[in-house]
Structure 1
Amino acid sequence: MTPRRPTALAAPAALALILAATACGPTDSAKPKGASNKPGGTYSVALTEPDHLLPGRTTSSYSLQVLQGLFDTPATLDPEDGSVRPLAATSWTTTDNIVWTIKFRPGTTFHNGEKVTAHSYADAWSAAAYGPNGWDANYYFSQIKGYDTLNPSEEGAKPSSQRLAGLTVVDDDTLQVTLNAPFGQFPMLLSFPAFAPLPKAAITDPDAFDTAPIGNGPYQVEGTWERNQKISLKKFAAYTGPRKPMADRVDFKIYTSRETAFTELQAGNVDILTTVPAANTTQAKRLFGDRFSIRPSGTMDYLGLPVKDRRFADPRIRKALSMSIDRKGITQAIYNGVYKPATSITGDMIPGHRAEACGATCTYDPAAARQLLAEAGGFTGTLELYFSNSDPTYEQWMTSVANQLKDNLGIKDVRFRKMAPADLSTLLNGQRNKGPFRQNWVIDYPSIQNYLDGLYYPGNRSGWSNKEFDALVKQGNAAQGAEAIAAYQRAEDIALRELPYIPLWNWQDQSAWSDKVANVVIDPYVSGLHLDRVTVSQ
């Protein structure tokens, strides 16, 4: 899920906190000649098949792009500078960073006419946080009091409640949220789609809701989600929020690969592609001119390691794997040098990023890698590499990694486990993989904390945990400014020392669009393409 903000937010105040984040790079905004800013029209967006369309049930960037148009979350991140702004909420106040009072816009409705109230948020958040539901965004609610009750740590224990104790509905438009501990970045968290409100239908029948979600945003689903084909949205006529939609309709066309989507963009069969393959950079620049852009990104790729597997239990083995990977060579060969070799867990646009945090661990050094592997007892058996089939470059770089592990470390038997994104996600979330895997993180807001919490949460895919790391993250959460950044950096040092996730490269996002559309705004955060702003030439 996906981008990042300054980590230490504003100091507590009794006023509504509109917390400024540092700029995270330019947005895309171009108007082709002859394009009109008049509302109306239909445009299409290329998309990979989502896993779910119920907020709280997904953290997939493919799903979140659709949900961005269907739901208004309490807060949003400004696409220009990353600052936190009200969306469905009008304000949030606190005096101690523990108890927050959120005021919502009155008089709003869901697409089915049901009134949106503070209960709609409390019910949605409790459903996502309730462990037995198994919703992917569950951990996003771990800051709220009562989360542990809904997710007991004892094996076989059942939750004693289905509602978060830290949520108090004051009235229809007011929700009081009590956290477990001070968390100054809470308003940024409110911009994540899992914090959207849900109507009663989502709670009573989440599976049915998944195929035809009912939101409170500027667009509503037209018909139902046609699996592996398309998702169509139309303007919600009764929408009264601040994101007035320009186009009447948005069609998400689902493709199995970005290469196919790029071909379709060239042919005029789709209007916007937010992820142009790096291999097509030169061609895209030539074909689309000022309708092609490269933007700084907080998205990172890692090689995740199942640390509970005895073959990967020794950090020296994990470091040997890392040092045997030629990041610069791979990014040059496969991504035309657009992506940047990782030197840290975080993207280089993040406040507090340190250019050489990873040091020798992320430096290509086959001789040192072989020595480390030998000291740790070597590697035996088959090495399985897990990745999705949604992008051919994943197999390309996995092939390069496999060859380097063979050549540099003498690991002879390397096999691929390639599968659909949804299937891979299910397997990794259940820690049922038997080898390293592609792990991607798309930041939700510009902060080191988002990477640390997003990758190393309790029960994370690698199976790694460290009490000192957890304590430092907690310390950073309670702090402000430089003090918070320093604590997060010390936690990052522990993660890099233990290396359950090997940093590989920092994405640079590439997008292109047809001359049919204008006002294309794509931010580096979880919102991605701002569906409501796009205009269609008339």
Structure 2
Amino acid sequence: MSTAHMNTARSTVLAASVALTLTLVATACGPAQSTKPDNASHKPGGAYSVALTEPDHLLPGRTTSSYSLQVLQGLFDPPTSLDPEHGTVKPLAALSWVTDDNVVWTVTFRSGTTFHNGEKVTAGSFADAWNAAAYGPNGWDSNYYFAQIKGYDALNPTEEGAKPTARTLSGLKVVDEKTLQVTLKAPFGQFPMLLSFPAFAPLPKAAVAKPDTFDTAPVGNGPYQLDGPWERNQRIKLKKFAAYRGPREAMADRVDFKIYTSRETAFTELQAGNVDILTTVPAANSAQAKRLFGDRFSIRPSGTMDYLGLPVKDPRFADPRVRKAISMAIDRQGITQAIYNGVYKPATSIVGEMIPGHRPGACGRTCAYDPAAAKKLLDEAGGFEGTLELYFSNADATYEQWMTSVANQLKDNLGIKDVKFRKMAPADLSSLLNEGRNKGPFRQNWVIDYPSIQNYLDGLYYPGNRSGWSNREFDALVAKGNAAEGTEAVAAYQQAEDIVLRDLPYIPLWNWQDQSAWSDRIGNVVIDSYAAGLHLDSVTVND
């Protein structure tokens, strides 16, 4: 947990003193980092390029896409950040966060900072941004990240046809220009970790007034600012923000995001020297990347997971036995070996292996390959009729490869005759799934925001989630974990995990291993396992 002293009379969480109750082992989740001995001689300045898949949005509250978050990492400073090696909470836009009870938090921000347009950053800038994201009718993707704050329910009524009874969160109080008091609905010790997510970054007045315009030309408070228009499906250029007064001054003058339609193409471009950093080297190219890039290639455990999501409100998938049959009919070991070169690891839990509280084998027989048992279970549930549509994006060639393997295994092992693919651009798929317009299973990916089981539980199974699943017992156990600390919190989260594994709205498939490579033009490459990804400000340029 992010607060280590919940039972003391007063809990004060300051920059360097915050530690997770369960400390991560550095070798398990440490960042990729260049260690070339000449790094110390690198001087500020220069430009470098990063391979990227086309983002869906660049307004922080509108997106949870890892492609977007990588750009936002340079453009915005949220209140806190996570240490890339240990996962501990550090100050960013905020200097301190103080609480007596893990319900009422007083957040104090830095003075003298501005947005890229010169507008002063104040506590009100944060409150305005959070209110806009939390207001249900706005339809921003990060909406549920604000569900912990008092007043969220008034902005997001669940009754059919009901309208919000408020426009702002009652739990936010601007005390003065640098102080924001935040009242939560219930105790939540991990609140400082949550504040590291880009959706909690401040917004200038123009963003709230004209979000569509701002979405394509964002104005942030981070070390980099936009350098020219977002060239759709081509590039996004950033330049150093000269007036930046935060704690992470940029080393390079410019960053050029080059947008590619596939990781394979991006890897070829890296080999040719046309791009400097690829944070997602295809697993099939692992041996080649190690040979070509040597100490400029990194492979490390990741909190990223792939799942097969199931629309549980569709009568064909309503019976948990059907969902479990599909899971048991999938050969995870065979797929990860054939398509991911054995780099990815078959999932036996909904939680990444490097997360405190991960339990190997939590999924039990349900995640074990057993075609005979799968067919028997499906028959007991009444079988499957109609076309099975599988939804995935075109962002990576391996998505279609593993979906093809899954389709063939479901045909062979379960006797499902008619399987069709629905492949589309990531942004289009995201919109379709968020609106519940899919008619079958879909690829669901989760990139961890901070190192906690809770992040998976809330991130995947939030109210109105893409699968349509809900469970009151699950909600109560998550709330119990949020209000607890240490082993008691982990135990509650694990019980909540048991419930989702019992009902299986998302079938765990495999745990990623992050692979990155970079050119010899750059150094001091730091890539963490959380939402920040590549630390753009740290990278130095040799020439």
TM-score category by the smaller chain? over 0.9
Please give the residue correspondences for 1:141-290 in structure 2 after superposition, counting only pairs within 5 Å.
141-290=146-295
Name the SS of the counterpart of 1:443 in structure 2: coil
How does the TM-score come out when normalised to structure 1? 0.98
Identify which of 456, 462, 469 aligns with 2:467: 462
Identify which of 402, 406, 419 aligns with 2:411: 406
Shift of 1:87: 0.7
Name the SS of the counterpart of 1:244 in structure 2: coil
Name the SS of the counterpart of 2:458 in structure 1: helix
Could you list the runs of 5+ residues in structure 2 that have no partner in the other structure?
none
Name the SS of the counterpart of 1:15 in structure 2: strand
1:15 aligns with 2:12: yes
Distance 1:134 1:472 in 2: 27
- CA-based RMSD of the aligned residues comes to 1.1
Instruction: Report if aligned partners of 2:2, 2:192 keep a CA contact under 8 Å in 1.
Output: no
Distance 1:19 1:411 in 2: 52
Please give the residue correspondences for 1:129-140 in structure 2 after superposition, counting only pairs within 5 Å.
129-140=134-145
Partner of 2:126: 121
Name the SS of the counterpart of 1:445 in structure 2: coil
Amino acid at match of 1:15: T
Could you list the runs of 5+ residues in structure 1 that have no partner in the other structure?
1-5
Name the SS of the counterpart of 1:378 in structure 2: coil
Shift of 1:31: 4.6
Structure 1 vs Structure 2: percent identity of aligned residues?
Answer: 79
Distance 1:503 1:221 in 2: 38
Instruction: Report if aligned partners of 2:2, 2:19 keep a CA contact under 8 Å in 1.
Output: no
How does the TM-score come out when normalised to structure 2? 0.97
Identify which of 19, 31, 38 aligns with 1:27: 31
Partner of 1:3: none
Identify which of 489, 502, 505 aligns with 2:494: 489
Instruction: Report if aligned partners of 2:6, 2:101 keep a CA contact under 8 Å in 1.
Output: no
Distance 1:340 1:448 in 2: 18
Amino acid at match of 2:468: G
Partner of 1:91: 96
Please give the residue correspondences for 1:37-76 in structure 2 after superposition, counting only pairs within 5 Å.
37-76=42-81
Identify which of 328, 331, 349 aligns with 1:344: 349
Q: Deviations over 1:406-430 (max 9, x none)?
A: 1100101011000000000000001
Instruction: Report if aligned partners of 1:351, 1:446 keep a CA contact under 8 Å in 2.
Output: yes
Amino acid at match of 2:19: A
Identify which of 329, 350, 370 aligns with 1:324: 329
> Compared with structure 1, are the counterparts of its residues 384 and 7 closer, same or farther at alpha carbon in structure 2 (3 Å cutoff)?
farther
Amino acid at match of 1:25: C
Partner of 1:104: 109
Say how many residue pairs are matched: 533
Q: Deviations over 1:434-466 (max 9, x none)?
A: 000000000100000000000000000000000
Amino acid at match of 2:12: L
Amino acid at match of 1:19: V
Instruction: Report if aligned partners of 2:3, 2:18 keep a CA contact under 8 Å in 1.
Output: no
Q: Deviations over 1:39-90 (max 9, x none)?
A: 0000000000000000101000000000000011100000010000111100
Instruction: Report if aligned partners of 2:125, 2:203 keep a CA contact under 8 Å in 1.
Output: yes
Identify which of 505, 530, 534 aligns with 1:529: 534
Instruction: Report if aligned partners of 1:235, 1:248 keep a CA contact under 8 Å in 2.
Output: yes
Amino acid at match of 1:263: T
Amino acid at match of 1:468: E
Distance 2:497 2:87 in 1: 23
Instruction: Report if aligned partners of 2:3, 2:13 keep a CA contact under 8 Å in 1.
Output: no
Q: Deviations over 1:127-184 (max 9, x none)?
A: 0000010000000000001001111112222212211110000000000000000001
Distance 2:4 2:299 in 1: 28
1:314 aligns with 2:319: yes
Instruction: Report if aligned partners of 1:10, 1:480 keep a CA contact under 8 Å in 2.
Output: no
Instruction: Report if aligned partners of 1:31, 1:517 keep a CA contact under 8 Å in 2.
Output: no
Moved over 6 A (4+): none
> Compared with structure 1, are the counterparts of its residues 506 and 9 closer, same or farther at alpha carbon in structure 2 (3 Å cutoff)?
farther
Identify which of 511, 520, 528 aligns with 1:515: 520
Partner of 1:498: 503
Shift of 1:37: 1.6
Instruction: Report if aligned partners of 2:11, 2:101 keep a CA contact under 8 Å in 1.
Output: no
1:373 aligns with 2:378: yes
Please give the residue correspondences for 1:386-425 in structure 2 after superposition, counting only pairs within 5 Å.
386-425=391-430
Distance 1:489 1:33 in 2: 43
Partner of 2:300: 295
